[in-house]
Amino acid sequence: MSRENRIIRIALGLIFMIVVGIMFMSWWALLGLIPVIVGITGFCPACYFLNRCSTKR
């Protein structure tokens, strides 16, 4: 996973959490943690278990 891809995932996850958390004040904002964790760790469960990624392992 490239550095730019990881930064984009983290940024989009944080933006999702902030927007959904402020606008709807809902627990759904926690879904934004998924791309944040994937961006930080570099491990994508969908790529691993579904074998559908174009990135190299």
DSSP string covering 1-57: --HHHHHHHHHHHHHHHHHHHHHH--GGGGGGHHHHHHHHH---HHHHHH----S--
pLDDT at 51 (0 to 100): 78
pLDDT at 33 (0 to 100): 93
| Rounded Cα–Cα distance for residues 21 and 34 (Å) | 15
Q: How far is CA 53 from CA 30, 32, 45, in A?
A: 24, 20, 10
> pLDDT band for position 57 (50/70/90)?
low
* Pairs from 43-52 (Cβ < 8 Å, separation ≥ 24): 44/1
Give pLDDT tens digits for 6-54.
999 999 999 999 999 999 888 889 999 999 999 999 888 878 788 777 6
